[in-house]
Amino acid sequence: MPSKKSLHIESSGQLCIYCGACVGICPLNCIYLDETRITFDEKICTRCEICVRACPVGAIEIG
């Protein structure tokens, strides 16, 4: 099985504005917003890249 691409959410505050757009659109419900911290479940995430498009400020990258 090919290894998953890496997903990076820049939530240290340099880009992320903690708006929750990615959390609401995630079809697998695997992104979590905790006031000023965004995390995602590495195991559930399929790297579908929907959150990348939904992020208004470009804080999510897939490599």
Partner 1 sequence: MAPDLTTDVLVIGAGPSGSMAAKWAAKAGARVLMIEKRQEIGSPVRCGEGMSKDWLADVGIKPGRWINVEVEGARIYSPSEKVFEINEKHAGNEVGYVVERDEFDKQLAIDAANEGVEIRLKTAATGILKENGSVVGAKVKQFGTTFDVRAKVTIAADGFESQVGRWAGLPTNIALRDMDTCLQYRMTNVDCDVRYCDFYLGKVAPGGYVWIFPKAEGLANVGIGVQVSQIKGMAEARSYLDRWIDHHPAYAKGKKIDMVGGGVSIAPPMKQTVLDGFMVLGDAARMIDPLTGGGIANGCIAGKICGTVAAEAVHSGDASKKVLDKYEKGWRVRLEEKLYRNWLAKEKLTTLSDETFDKIVDALLGVKLEKLNVHNILKAVHEKYPEVTKEFEAFL
For partner 1, the binding residues (CB under 8 A) are 17-21, 23-25, 27, 29, 32-35, 50, 52-58, 60-61
d(C-alpha 2, C-alpha 24), whole Å = 28
Closer of 1 and 50 to partner 1 (Cβ): 50
Closer of 32 and 45 to partner 1 (Cβ): 32
* Placement of tokens 């609401």 in the chain: 24
Closer of 23 and 45 to partner 1 (Cβ): 23
Strands (E) located in 1-63: 7-9, 31-33, 38-40, 60-62
